[in-house]
Amino acid sequence: VPAPAASNLQIDPERLWGDLMETAKIGGTPNGGICRLTLTDLDRQVRDWFCREAKALGCAVTIDDMGAIYARREGQRRDVPPIAMGSHLDTQPSGGKFDGALGVLAALEALRTLHRAGYETFAPIEVINWTNEEGARFAPAMLASGVFGGVFERDWAAARQDRAGVVFGDALEEIGYRGPAKCGDRHPLSAFFELHIEQGPYLEAEGRDIGAVTGIQAIRWYEVTVVGNETHAGTTPMPRRKDALVAASRIVARIDALAREYAPLAVGTVGWLEVRPNSPNVVPGQVTFTVDLRHPDETVVEAMETELRRALYGIADEGLRVEMKPIWHQPPVVFDKTCVAAVRAAARACGLTSRDIISGAGHDAAYVSRVTSTAMIFVPCRDGLSHNEAEFTSKEQCAAGAQVLLQAVLAFDRELAARQR
């Protein structure tokens, strides 16, 4: 029996959907979402599941010192770096079923399709699960892909702590996923493709099946601390107060207004905020919060930062102490033209409608793109909703994304073969 033509390979929508629903039970919430924070025991369970499935397909599974998992299927040439696909299996505290999981499970399904068909690629194919993409437990986000891409120092990354003081490296050890390989070291890739839900409203609004992601907007994160004066809520006259929460509240409202001033593309968010001492009858003495500013144009983010600083000076003028610390800065990412073209062509070949799109969110692909040719594939999600238990992408939409992922990888593989032979 001859091997089938690449264009005849079809992923199985039901099997992919089954995997999505089955793994969604690991950390599943009553409202239909997933709470599977990185390096928890739930994360271990889904990692175990992934390793088992990959091994059943004959893959060699390796783990590096950042806990990233690589499932490798050999091709004709062992000396050619693998073409990789993947995303992440960790979630937000009340995340949905598709953010991250779709990228890993669709990659697994693509690999399974190759395996069942007995199709031999030119390059090896790798499916990757990156650690701590969400950054919900350990900051910064995309820790493993960041080390892989040379953005973060290995030791610095391993020493990150969660809010309870647990060290990243120890947590990896604890769940048995601290591998011997050095993340990113002697691990070249020929390319990296990441399928992901859009997490925004545009594809759905325009009725397109596929987004060919050309890049990622600039992102800056800050941690702001406002220090006022902790005092009794019943007995401290209003003019004598230095209420850190009242001051912080003005900044929160200002950030919202600021992003609207740079409409329609700018976004600004305070997602995390903590009050001290956080007692009903104590005027808050200290408030710490994160600020997330984004825009496709770096100069606009710059301008927003300036405006934010101005607002903070206003608080300082009222006699409170304010400190702003940049904690993450991602310049705009431009993906590889060849890879993006492969995605566009794959969508066309599958009879799907597509558009070019810029990602509003950071993704592992952003860091991986520093060391290899990279692109992303977006599929729509209902109401643009993500980081929410109600996040939803249909079985057909997931399947379309997985099919495009497989075809893009195969197209890239064919081109690689043509170039090297």
Give residues 78-117 in contact with its own copies (rule: CB under 8 A).
92-94
Give bridge partners of residue 225 from the DSSP assignment: 288, 323
Min separation Cβ 188 and its own copies, Å:
29
Is residue 225 within 8 Å of 323, Cβ to Cβ?
yes
Min separation Cβ 223 and its own copies, Å:
9
Q: Which of 78, 186, 232, 421 binds its own copies (CB under 8 A)?
A: 232
Site for its own copies in 6-65 (CB under 8 A): none
Q: Which of 82, 169, 360, 401 binds its own copies (CB under 8 A)?
A: 360
- Closest CB to its own copies among residues 64, 90: 90
Is residue 85 within 8 Å of 127, Cβ to Cβ?
yes
Site for its own copies in 251-310 (CB under 8 A): 252-253, 256, 259-260, 263-264, 266-285, 290, 292, 294
Nearest to 68 by CA among 370, 367, 413: 367
- Closest CB to its own copies among residues 77, 355: 355
Rounded Cα–Cα distance for residues 377 and 42 (Å): 27
Site for its own copies in 397-416 (CB under 8 A): none
Is residue 245 within 8 Å of 342, Cβ to Cβ?
no
- Closest CB to its own copies among residues 16, 219: 219
Min separation Cβ 110 and its own copies, Å:
25
Is residue 178 within 8 Å of 170, Cβ to Cβ?
no
E strand map for 157-259 = 191-197, 210-216, 218-227, 231-232
Size of the site for its own copies (CB under 8 A): 73
| Position 387 contacts its own copies (CB under 8 A) | yes
Is residue 369 within 8 Å of 150, Cβ to Cβ?
no
Length of the chain: 421
3-state secondary structure (DSSP) of residue 417: helix
| Position 119 contacts its own copies (CB under 8 A) | no
- Closest CB to its own copies among residues 54, 287: 287
Min separation Cβ 4 and its own copies, Å:
37
Q: Which of 43, 243, 307, 364 binds its own copies (CB under 8 A)?
A: 243
Q: Which of 388, 394, 395, 414 binds its own copies (CB under 8 A)?
A: 388
Rounded Cα–Cα distance for residues 214 and 357 (Å): 6
| Position 246 contacts its own copies (CB under 8 A) | yes
In sequence order, which residues have a C-beta less than 8 Å from that of residue 406 and are 6 or more positions away?
Answer: 9, 11, 110, 113, 114
Min separation Cβ 200 and its own copies, Å:
4
| Position 136 contacts its own copies (CB under 8 A) | yes
Min separation Cβ 23 and its own copies, Å:
20
- Closest CB to its own copies among residues 32, 58: 32
Min separation Cβ 190 and its own copies, Å:
28
Q: Candidates 57-65, 82-90, 170-178, 233-241 — which segment interacts with its own copies by CB under 8 A?
A: 233-241
Q: Which of 245, 347, 366, 379 binds its own copies (CB under 8 A)?
A: 245
Nearest to 144 by CA among 328, 367, 359, 329: 367
Min separation Cβ 375 and its own copies, Å:
18
- Closest CB to its own copies among residues 330, 372: 330
Rounded Cα–Cα distance for residues 214 and 234 (Å): 56
Rounded Cα–Cα distance for residues 244 and 241 (Å): 9
| Position 220 contacts its own copies (CB under 8 A) | no
Summarize the chain as % helix, strand, coil (round to 5): 40, 25, 40
- My answer on whether omega of the bond before 380 falls inside 30° of 0, hence cis, is no
- Give 220's DSSP letter: E
Site for its own copies in 366-385 (CB under 8 A): 384-385
Nearest to 402 by CA among 46, 13, 7, 83: 13
